[in-house]
């Protein structure tokens, strides 16, 4: 069975920590860096997609209804989407809340 | 067999890199550079070597370009000196951690300020911890030999580490010496073209120098440390092979007239030649003095050093660099620490001498041998002295 990333020993690493699997960054959860998360009032959404363009993580895609929504596995909670949304769809709330 | 040529050592180093058939040279050509990269540029421009010469905008970029070329599996060479080595500093760590077998000749020079570009090992000591294999040469022949041999060490699949070939600025780089040149065939046989095991290759993509969060960084550093420690015996293996092929044998610590010596001098680099003459003179006068020369600086040759020191009573370490507000000479500090666990270790005295290109003569080495017992008996916390400073 493949070892989990935090079970790897120094002997398991490739020379110079070379990563031989392309695109493996997708497996890395950056969502746990987040202190705030975006919430949506889709009634106001005009599906312009500006939030997805501004998102520095590139983690905003369209859901089944065509609304733009961030993937919380990667979303770091920076709030740029909330700031840029022209119709004020997105509100940032504390993760504890 | 090749031939013996009178040549400036910088040019000889460039000729060695040419004979090594390097694929890429990336270098910044302005002061404090040496003739090494100037001559490499001539060699490539004249069509005498099929290589890419990348004249970059800084030493930082020079080493960065070397990372890229080495990562594709190209045999990569560069040279620098003094301030240039300092500007490369952060990229040097990347080269070793990414296990890229770059070979770099370094003309050791003083660091500003005040402005001084003469022979000095302050630059060498400032890159002590960057993870490269570091070899210190004593004369032009060694600089030539180690430039060639270092490709074989660096590219060994069990090593895959960058190597610095240190030569004292001016004392070596700017003087003409007689140097034995092997034939091209001999060099080609000694360092055949290699294949980097995991190069940048679009048909088999890899990522190098990736992000390592806290859960894996320690493991990465442990792997790196084990790798460079293990390289020591492989370095000796290749030096032995070099000796068989070319007749000149090298060791991590070289001993000169140490048999039964009560007092030993220890030097790094070109000091060794003058110190040998001083030892000859003192031996002729019946004094019990010998000389150790530290060739391999990283990985540090602990066992070899302890063995070479043997039962000497006094050990005088002569540094051409100073660790301000700390241990005095960096080599002194390491040597003393290496002997700490020995039951009958000698008294270790350090001199910081020859800074900024100041000459240290035979007489001055004799004076060190006279002065050392006086310092050793003071019981001071750090038994070192800046030698020859005007009070």
At B38, give phi and psi (nearest 5°): -65, -45
Does the beta-carbon distance from A6 to B198 stay under 8 Å?
A: no
Q: At B86, is the secondary structure helix, strand, or coil? A: helix
DSSP symbol at B51: -
Q: Which fold has domain A41-97?
A: Alpha-Beta Plaits (3.30.70)
**Hey, of A4, A7, A17, A24, which one would you mutate to test binding to chain B, going by the most B CBs within 10 A of its CB?**
A17
Q: Give the contacts of B30 (CB within 8 A, at least 6 positions apart).
A: none
Domains of chain B are 3-246 (3.40.50.970), 254-386 (3.40.50.920)
Residues 11-70 of A with CB under 8 A from B: 11-20, 22, 24, 28
pLDDT in tens, B280-316: 999 999 999 999 999 999 999 999 999 999 999 999 9
Lowest mean pLDDT among A26-30, B80-84, B105-109, B242-246: A26-30
Beta-carbon neighbour count of residue B92 at 10 Å?
23
Task: Point out the residue among B100, B208, B219 whose CB comes nearest to the CB of A8.
Answer: B219
Instruction: Identify the residue with better confidence: A23 or A80.
Output: A80
Question: A7 — contact with chain B (CB < 8 Å)?
Answer: no
Q: What is the pLDDT of residue A6?
A: 84
pLDDT in tens, A36-75: 999 999 999 999 999 999 999 999 999 999 999 999 999 9
- Give the nearest chain A residue to B96 (CA atoms): A16
CA distance B190 to A49: 61
CA distance B287 to B278: 11
Does the beta-carbon distance from A5 to B216 stay under 8 Å?
A: yes
Quickly tell me which residue has 């035979």 as its tokens: B362
Pairing of strands A60-62, A68-70: antiparallel
Q: What is the pLDDT of residue B107?
A: 98
Helix (H) or strand (E) holding B42: helix B35-45
Question: A97 — contact with chain B (CB < 8 Å)?
Answer: no
At B338, give phi and psi (nearest 5°): -65, -25
CA distance B149 to B145: 6
Task: Point out the residue among A5, A11, A16 whose CB comes nearest to the CB of B99.
Answer: A16
Question: A10 — contact with chain B (CB < 8 Å)?
Answer: yes
B1 falls in which pLDDT band (50, 70, 90)? low
CA distance B387 to B317: 12
pLDDT in tens, A10-23: 999 999 999 998 88
Does the beta-carbon distance from A18 to B222 stay under 8 Å?
A: no
Does the beta-carbon distance from B207 to A6 stay under 8 Å?
A: no
Task: Point out the residue among B97, B198, B209 whose CB comes nearest to the CB of A14.
Answer: B198
pLDDT in tens, B112-149: 999 999 999 999 999 999 999 999 999 999 999 999 99
Task: Point out the residue among B160, B209, B212 whose CB comes nearest to the CB of A15.
Answer: B160
Contacts of B245-251 with C-beta under 8 Å, sequence gap 24+, read B245/B182, B245/B186, B245/B189, B245/B190, B246/B145, B246/B180, B246/B182, B246/B186, B246/B190, B248/B141, B248/B145, B248/B180, B250/B142, B250/B145, B250/B146, B250/B149, B250/B295, B251/B295, B251/B304
Does the beta-carbon distance from A6 to B215 stay under 8 Å?
A: yes
| Chain B positions in Cβ-Cβ contact with residue A13 (cut-off 8 Å) | 216, 219-220, 223
Task: Point out the residue among B160, B206, B212 whose CB comes nearest to the CB of A20.
Answer: B206
Q: What is the pLDDT of residue A1?
A: 57
Domain ranges of chain A: 41-97
């Amino acid at each position: 069975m493949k070892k989990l990333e935090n079970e790897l020993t120094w002997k398991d690493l490739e020379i110079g920590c070379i990563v031989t699997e392309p695109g493996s960054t997708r497996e890395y959860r950056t969502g746990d860096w987040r202190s705030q998360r975006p919430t949506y009032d889709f009634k106001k959404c005009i599906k312009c997609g500006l939030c997805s363009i501004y998102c520095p993580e590139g983690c905003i895609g369209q859901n089944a209804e065509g609304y733009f929504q961030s993937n919380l596995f990667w979303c770091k909670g920076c709030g740029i989407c909330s700031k840029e949304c022209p119709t004020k769809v997105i509100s940032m709330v504390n993760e504890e809340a | 067999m090749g031939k013996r040529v009178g040549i400036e050592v910088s040019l000889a180093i460039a000729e060695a890199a040419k004979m090594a058939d390097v694929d890429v040279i990336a270098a910044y050509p302005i002061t404090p550079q040496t003739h090494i990269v100037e001559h490499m540029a001539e060699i490539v421009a004249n069509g005498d070597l099929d290589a890419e010469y990348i004249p970059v905008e800084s030493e930082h970029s020079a080493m960065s370009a070397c990372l890229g070329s080495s990562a594709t599996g190209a045999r990569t060479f560069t040279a620098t000196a003094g301030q240039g080595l300092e500007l490369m500093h952060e990229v040097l760590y990347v080269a070793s951690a990414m296990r890229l077998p770059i070979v770099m000749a370094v003309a050791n020079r003083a660091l500003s300020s005040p402005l001084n570009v003469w022979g000095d090992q302050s630059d060498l000591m400032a890159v002590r911890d960057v993870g490269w294999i570091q070899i210190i040469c004593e004369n032009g022949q060694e600089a030539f030999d180690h430039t060639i041999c270092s490709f074989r060490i660096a590219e060994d699949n069990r090593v895959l580490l960058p190597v610095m070939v240190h030569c004292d600025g001016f004392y070596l780089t700017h003087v003409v010496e007689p140097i034995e040149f092997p034939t091209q065939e001999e060099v080609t046989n000694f360092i055949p073209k290699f294949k980097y095991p995991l190069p940048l290759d679009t048909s088999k993509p890899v990522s190098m120098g990736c992000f390592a969060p806290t859960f894996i960084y320690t493991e990465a550093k442990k792997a790196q440390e084990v790798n460079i420690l293990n390289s020591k015996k492989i370095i000796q293996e290749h030096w032995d092979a070099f000796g068989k092929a070319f007749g000149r044998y090298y060791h991590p610590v070289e001993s000169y007239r140490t048999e039964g010596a009560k007092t030993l001098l220890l030097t790094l680099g070109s000091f060794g030649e003058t110190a040998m003459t001083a030892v000859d003179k003192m031996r002729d006068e019946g004094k019990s003095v010998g000389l150790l020369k530290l060739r391999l600086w990283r990985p540090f040759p602990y066992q070899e050093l302890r063995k070479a020191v043997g039962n000497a009573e006094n050990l005088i370490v002569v540094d051409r660099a100073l660790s301000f507000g700390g241990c005095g000479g960096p080599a002194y500090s390491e040597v003393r620490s290496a002997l700490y666990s020995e039951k009958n270790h000698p008294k270790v005295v350090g001199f910081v001498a020859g800074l900024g290109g100041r000459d240290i003569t035979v007489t001055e080495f004799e004076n060190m041998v006279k002065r050392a017992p006086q310092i050793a008996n003071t019981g001071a916390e750090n038994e070192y002295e800046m030698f020859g400073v005007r009070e």
